[in-house]
A and B are shown apart, each in its own frame.
Chain A
Amino acid sequence: MSRNVGIASRLKRNKITEVVASGKRMDGRDLLDYREIQIKTGVLEKVEGSAEAYLGKTRVLVGVKFGKGYPFDDTPDKGVLMTNAEFTPIAHPTFEPGPPDERSIELARVVDRGLRSAEILDMKKLCLVPGKSVYMVHVDIYVLSYDGNLIDCSALAAIAALKTAKMPVYTVKDENVKLTKKTKAVKILREPLAVSIVKIGDSLLVDPSADEEEVMDARITITLDEKGNVCTIQKVGSVGFTRDELKTAVQIAAEKVEELRKNV
């Protein structure tokens, strides 16, 4: 069952293109329909926050871990937020074990930029002793099943995990940082969520399945906060978007993101 990744079945490409051109999808959805979304929070016990998000058969688990560490030299008075993503080989037959490839790095970076650009956490409040000790926040995205649209699914899970996280409280006395038994809720300033829009032929559609991603011409992921501000954009694929298509895409994303927001 092994095949060269990247060469899509011609039959699949033709069929999907034809069905999409008629305004329908292989699984019966309309072009602008998301699959069923399900989010469970607090699914892990050894982390401060966790959430599992399902988008149809796509399934992503996010663990948020708070710890203590050193700040970066250029931001001595700010905490550190790090986002990491892993494609597990159980998620899809084409995923192989090994160091992160460009797809998982893209996933981590796009979600990370969404969180950062929106300034979801007040990083200055995550400083314990300037230049010496700050909170380290690890957001680990773990892909358990792949059927397309990992970015939207991961952003949902990340926000749900952060919103429900309980961070440890440290006391600081003369630059001595001590862990207490107390925890407190994490203050989330914004809620950036991603909407990925895929171009197949002349049509734009949301929430692509794995098959649709395999045959797509291009994809644009638009992350918006709860005020409708655009926070991050990522375009991939070897076909361009027209100016009109881009504007339509932003409009679609702005509408769809409200629908997603109801789930977190």
Chain B
Amino acid sequence: MSKKKSKKTTKRFDGRKPDELRPLKIESGVLPHADGSAYIEMGRNKILVGVFGPREMHPKRFSKPNMATLRCRYHMAPFSVDPRRSPAPSRRDNEISMVMRYALEPAVFLERYPRSVIDVYAEILEADGGTRTACINAASVALVDAGIPVRDLVASCAAGKIDGQLVLDLGDYEDKEGDADVPLAYMPKTEHVTLLQMDGILSQDDFNGCIDMAIEGCKQIYEVQREALKKKYGLDEGEAN
């Protein structure tokens, strides 16, 4: 990897500025049979999330007596990547399902629904790097669409480093070729970071830079999430103060 520091203004391979998000589109209420749902296109990621519940937990012994259980499932369609993958869940899928749960749980008033379960199912139809962050963005919208009470929306994106430059919202290529990748999720109103992972190598300064950059990215994503939720009702009023 190049160690030159002179690349500060270089455009990225897809023409973006270092702190620019990929094109982002979110739509809520897209699945007729889910209690809540959302579709997201983040770069070339295409993901559908459906939320079911709160509903009865089966088998009952897995339920928690004092709160609802949030169950997340991250699943990739066989055609979502090249080459084709097996539809059986991998170890990676299981881990991402877990961190998704931890990213979303702080936002949800789980204590309102003891013993029940809220299922969050993410289906990745096409993957382009940063799928976990895109899943969290859509899942947060889908939870609200399902009428599940939450403290805040959860917005998520990654920052990282490639060719000596800190960049926001890495695509598949940057993810694989870069020095580091820091996916992060953030609740803008409570200012809490609820997902944080990192791969690669970063100096402490660069790591702090990534955190700042990713949080700024989350704030932009948050606005798109709000608009997606409101758009379903065709109302323009009630803009944020």
Complex contact flag A–B (Cβ < 8 Å): yes
List residues of chain A with CB under 8 Å of any chain B CB.
1-2, 44-47, 50, 57, 61, 63, 65, 67, 84, 86, 88-93, 97, 99, 138, 140, 142, 144-147
- In the bound assembly, the distance between CA atoms of A93 and B46 in angstroms comes to 22
B87 with A86: CB separation less than 8 A: yes
A144 with B31: CB separation less than 8 A: yes
Closest to A63 in B: B79
Q: A63 contacts which chain B residues (CB < 8 A)?
A: 77-79
Which residues from 55 to 83 on chain B have a C-beta closer than 8 Å to any C-beta of chain A? 55-56, 58, 73, 75, 77-83
Partner of A144, one of B52, B123, B126, B127: B123
List residues of chain B with CB under 8 Å of any chain A CB.
31-34, 37, 44, 46, 48-50, 52-53, 55-56, 58, 73, 75, 77-84, 87-88, 119, 121, 123, 125-127
A97 with B78: CB separation less than 8 A: no
B49 with A90: CB separation less than 8 A: yes
- In the bound assembly, the distance between CA atoms of A116 and B75 in angstroms comes to 29
- In the bound assembly, the distance between CA atoms of A61 and B77 in angstroms comes to 10
- In the bound assembly, the distance between CA atoms of A184 and B53 in angstroms comes to 47
4 closest A-B pairs by CB: A63-B79, A90-B50, A65-B84, A46-B82
- In the bound assembly, the distance between CA atoms of A88 and B79 in angstroms comes to 14
Residue of B79, B83, B126 with most partner-chain A CB within 10 A: B79
* A-B pairs with beta carbons under 8 Å apart, 25 shown: A1-B53, A2-B56, A44-B79, A44-B125, A46-B127, A63-B77, A63-B78, A67-B84, A86-B78, A86-B87, A88-B121, A88-B123, A89-B50, A90-B33, A90-B49, A90-B123, A93-B34, A93-B52, A97-B75, A140-B77, A140-B84, A140-B87, A142-B77, A142-B125, A146-B33
B32 with A61: CB separation less than 8 A: no
Q: A90 contacts which chain B residues (CB < 8 A)?
A: 31, 33-34, 37, 48-50, 121, 123
Residue of A1, A67, A84, A88 with most partner-chain B CB within 10 A: A88
- In the bound assembly, the distance between CA atoms of A145 and B78 in angstroms comes to 17
A89 with B119: CB separation less than 8 A: yes
A140 with B34: CB separation less than 8 A: no
- In the bound assembly, the distance between CA atoms of A54 and B226 in angstroms comes to 28
B78 with A84: CB separation less than 8 A: yes
Q: B83 contacts which chain A residues (CB < 8 A)?
A: 65, 67
- In the bound assembly, the distance between CA atoms of A84 and B87 in angstroms comes to 9
| Sample of 12 more A-B contacts, CB < 8 Å, known A46-B81, A97-B73 | A46-B79, A61-B125, A63-B77, A63-B78, A67-B84, A86-B78, A88-B123, A89-B73, A90-B121, A93-B52, A93-B55, A142-B78
Partner of A147, one of B32, B56, B73: B32
Q: B73 contacts which chain A residues (CB < 8 A)?
A: 89, 97
Q: A147 contacts which chain B residues (CB < 8 A)?
A: 32-33
Q: A45 contacts which chain B residues (CB < 8 A)?
A: 44, 126
Partner of A91, one of B33, B55, B79, B81: B33
Closest to B80 in A: A46
